[in-house]
Chains A and B, each alone.
Chain A
Amino acid sequence: MSHAVLDPRVAPEFPKAALPVLRDTQLRKNVAHATDVIQAKRAKLVAEKKDWQELRTAAAAIRDNVLGNLGDYLEQFEERCTAAGGQVHWASDAAEARRIILDILREEQAREVIKIKTMTSAEIDLNPALKSAGVHAIETDLAELILQLGKEEPSHIVVPALHVNRSQVREIFSKSMHLEGLSDEPQALTAAARSYLRNKFLTIPTAISGANYLVAETGSVVIVESEGNGRMCLTLPRTLITLAGIEKIIPRFEDLEVMLQILARSATGERMNPYNSLWTGVTEGDGPQRFHVVLLDNGRSEILARKTERQTLRCIRCGACQNTCPVYRQTGGHAYGSVYGGPIGAILTPQLMHMEHAQSLPYASSLCGACYEVCPVKINIPEVLIELRAQVVDQDRHKTSRLFDPMYMGMRMANSVFASAGRFRAAQRLGRTALKPFTGKDGWIRSLPGLGAKWTITRDLRGLPEQSFREWWEKQGRKMP
């Protein structure tokens, strides 16, 4: 199994990070199997929904409305949540969010916390911060538990351990839970996780969660899940801390009628997740009596300001784009060097990094558009990818290193050649002579030396023809206009 680096600030560029994965046939098999299964289930359940396109349209409109009026909705959420007994905190960046959470934990004198799967907590590197503050975090989602005990990194936003197969899970569990003779049947492995976590649920008084939706109208929070570990964390502890990106807002309770219909179908290929939980602040006699929401910006308000890129924030983290992406399906998530991999990660990660890191990710796509087609909130991912590519190019437009970069030298040469008819014709004649020795009898070039090999190593190149159209035309005795 690979030990991936999921910090965009230090992760290697995508093409480099992808290489070891492409050689790991077991990992590729695991990823292909999981994405095939989810895709087939999703396709079946989307097909039975006659109003699927109308639901997508409404979902995109709801999300756009949220983003266009985000300030008002956040204030409304804060007011209602506070009125219901919750406490709302605002965090400009990851460091501030970590500080807020650690302060609350210190006040609670917490030595241990139980956690529901939250990608946002991975985004802000919460677990390492908890560890250095002496707080033991226990992941309770089965996939997250596998990753935590196996010291692995998540590779998918919905099924984070999809790159790990049953015998690998067996190995991890039998070692860390001291269970000898554990079978590799998923049923037995799941039962092992159940008994491992049961007592922790019953006794640990502090929990940390993410959020799927924050309802502005009521101040409620919604979490969808399958296993019941979420319900345990949301119900049993004395104190609950919810970390949520500021874009997780939906205006009204009623909007869930759209969001819940598209989310489960897109994410796991189910008509509905086994469990959806909604709660509002604190309810006397039911669930945690201390409730904190940490609203996280961490680059989101910058994305909001950009016209083409704003749609990135419509995302509801269903992962459908990952399952369908021909690039992700080959590389899995780790090659993206971020907790957010796949097409959505390719646009979200560099933007969350203020375009200062992960600049190779917008190129990790063939622009085939499959992600746009399945996206339940209609994010035009290819459009954003192209916009970000342009920004990456613009970033080093004035760098001196560009002067001597072979690619840019070639581009400058091409610029000068294409700018003049004379130079263009001279280049054609020169090219014909120069390429002749490499051109086969069938007119194809299969191998070039030096820089040209970068092309021919993976594809053939058409040789230059004996004469150009211009030359043929002139030979016919006709005049150039």
Chain B
Amino acid sequence: MTVATSSRQSILDRIRKATAAGGGTGDDELQRGYIRKGSLNEDERIALMTERLREYDAEVVESGVADLPATIAAELFAGGKKVLAAPQGLPAQWLAQGVNWRIDGNLDYAELDGVEGVVTAASAGIAESGTIVLHHGPQEGRRVLSLLPDWHLCILRASQIVQTLPEYFALYPHPPALATMLSGPSATADIEMTRIKGVHGPRFLHVVIVRDAAQTRTGATSSAGAGQAG
């Protein structure tokens, strides 16, 4: 213990001696001349998010709020998913009938490894890079939940989508303790720079973008993939 303590002190002493002469800029002097605010309206943001997700080979559909349970059910049945995991906080109406739901309380790894997929909500979306952010709250579940199952259906509300990365950080003056940013399914290019989808993480990412703001204006009807005017 004394050795460890003395290393701590000697490292800090060396650092303090090295930096005593100054030379580091103060935090207030940092130049942040880069683009922080996006310029797209909501439709354009959704369109960009969709385009970027599809570039990553993710499947994207749109939904209104009212028909969201039906959209989720359609996605699950289209994928032939019968045994699915879900976090405890997932809204009950999202849990489609006819599916064997494994609600995560304390599912062990073997059980999670055995399910056909998982459905979670999201904390934010970043359109420019097609990124989905999970803060692992009750609706998103603990980290392992969206990691072991091979198929991930993620529900992202349109109002959660920002255009730029700095806009995401502006939303969280109180940083989350946990965050996972997903930009497409697991991938590698380690062999001859050939991009291969699906190494260890989920190989299939499906995203439902919920038009939660547009819903009141358009009366809750929307169709998959169709961009809505104004």
A residues touching B (Cβ–Cβ < 8 Å)?
30, 33-34, 37-38, 50-51, 54-55, 57-58, 61-62, 64-71, 74-75, 84, 89-92, 96, 100, 140-143, 146, 159, 161-162, 165-166, 169, 186-187, 189-190, 193-194, 197-198, 201-202, 215, 217-218, 220, 226-229, 231-232, 234-236, 246, 251, 253-254, 256-258, 260-261, 264, 268, 270-281, 283, 285-287, 295, 297, 301-302, 304-305, 307, 310
Q: Which of B60-68, B95-103, B182-190, B222-230 contacts A (4 or more CB under 8 A)?
A: B182-190
B180 touches A277 (CB 8 A): yes
Q: Name the A residues within 8 Å of B78 (CB-CB).
A: none
**Which of B69-77, B139-147, B213-221 lies at the binding interface?**
B139-147
CB of B80 within 8 Å of the partner chain? no
Is chain A's interface secondary structure helix, strand, loop, or mixed overall? helix
Q: Which residue of A lies closest to B128 (CB)?
A: A271
- Chain B residues, Cβ within 8 Å of A246: 11, 15
Contact A190 B188 (CB under 8 A): yes
Q: How far is the CA of A102 from the CA of B43 in the complex (A)?
A: 54
Q: What are 28 of the A-B contact pairs (CB < 8 Å)?
A: A55-B34, A58-B34, A65-B26, A67-B24, A68-B19, A84-B177, A96-B7, A146-B190, A166-B192, A190-B191, A198-B200, A202-B109, A226-B187, A226-B188, A229-B200, A257-B36, A257-B165, A257-B168, A271-B183, A272-B129, A273-B183, A274-B56, A274-B201, A278-B178, A286-B178, A301-B18, A304-B14, A305-B14
Complex interface bits, B1-45 against A, C-beta within 8 A gives 1, otherwise 0 = 001100110111011111100111111011111111000000000
Shortest Cβ distance from B52 into A: residue: A271
Query: Count of A-B contacts with CB under 8 A?
Result: 244
The answer to whether B193 touches A159, judged by C-beta atoms less than 8 angstroms apart, is yes
Give min CB distance, A153 to chain B, whole Å.
15
In the complex, given contacts A275-B186, A277-B180, what are 13 additional A-B residue pairs having Cβ atoms less than 8 angstroms apart? A50-B35, A67-B19, A165-B191, A228-B201, A231-B180, A254-B169, A258-B32, A268-B189, A270-B183, A272-B130, A274-B187, A275-B183, A279-B177
Give the 5 A-B CB pairs with smallest separation, nearest first.
A68-B24, A228-B201, A305-B18, A228-B200, A227-B199
Q: How far in angstroms is the closest Cβ of chain B from A87?
A: 11
Q: Is the CB of A71 within 8 A of B19?
A: yes
Contacting residues, chain A, for B193 (C-beta < 8 A): 33-34, 37-38, 159, 162
| A256 B7 Cβ-Cβ under 8 A | no
Whether A297 and B192, one on each chain, are in contact in the complex, defined by CB atoms closer than 8 angstroms, is no
Q: When chains A and B are docked, how far (Å) is the Cα of A270 from the Cα of B183? A: 10
Is B109's CB under 8 angstroms from A65's CB? no
Query: What is the bound-complex CA distance between A143 and B29, given in angstroms?
Result: 40
Q: Among residues 142 to 183 in chain B, which have CB atoms less than 8 Å away from a CB atom of chain A?
A: 142-144, 147, 165-166, 168-169, 172, 175-183
User: What distance in Å separates the Cβ of A61 from its nearest Cβ neighbour in chain B?
Assistant: 5
- CB B182 to nearest CB in A, in angstroms, measures 6
Structural contact, B30 and A220, CB atoms closer than 8 A:
no
Are A90 and B31 in contact, with the CB atoms below 8 A?
Answer: no
CB pair A34–B192 under 8 Å, yes or no, is: yes
Pairwise interchain contact A58-B32, C-beta atoms closer than 8 A: yes
Given A197-B200, A202-B113, A279-B177, A235 contacting B147 (CB threshold 8 A) = yes
Instruction: Categorize the interface residue count of chain B.
Output: 35 or more
Assess whether B175 is in contact with A220, with CB atoms less than 8 Å apart.
yes
Q: Does B131 contact A (CB under 8 A)?
A: yes
How close is B115's CB to chain A, nearest CB, in angstroms? 14
Is the Cβ of A279 less than 8 Å from the Cβ of B178? Answer: yes
Shortest distance from the beta carbon of B12 to any chain A beta carbon, whole Å: 5
* B residues less than 8 Å from A84 (CB atoms): 177
Chain B residues with CB below 8 A from A90, complex form? 4, 7-8, 11
Cβ-defined contact, B110 with A202, below 8 A: yes
Chain B residues whose C-beta falls within 8 Å of the C-beta of A51 in the assembled complex = 33-35
Known: A235-B143, A271-B52. A71 touches B15 (CB 8 A): yes
Q: How far is the CA of A271 from the CA of B55 in the complex (A)?
A: 11
| Most chain A C-beta atoms within 10 Å of own C-beta, residue among B113, B189, B201 | B189
Partner of B11, one of A92, A100, A166, A220: A92
Most buried by A among B8, B16, B56: B8
**B136 on the A face (CB < 8 A):** yes
Shortest CB-to-CB span from B31 to chain A, Å, is: 6
Least CB separation from B172: chain A residue: A253
Which residues from chain B contact A193 at a C-beta distance below 8 Å?
199
Residues of A with C-beta under 8 A to B10: 92
Of B172, B180, B191, most buried by chain A (CB within 10 Å of CB) is B191
- For residue B194, CB closer than 8 A to chain A, the reply is yes
Per-position contact with A for B190-218: 1 when CB-CB < 8 Å, else 0? 11111010111110000000000000000
Which residue of chain B has the shortest Cβ distance to A61 in the bound complex? B30
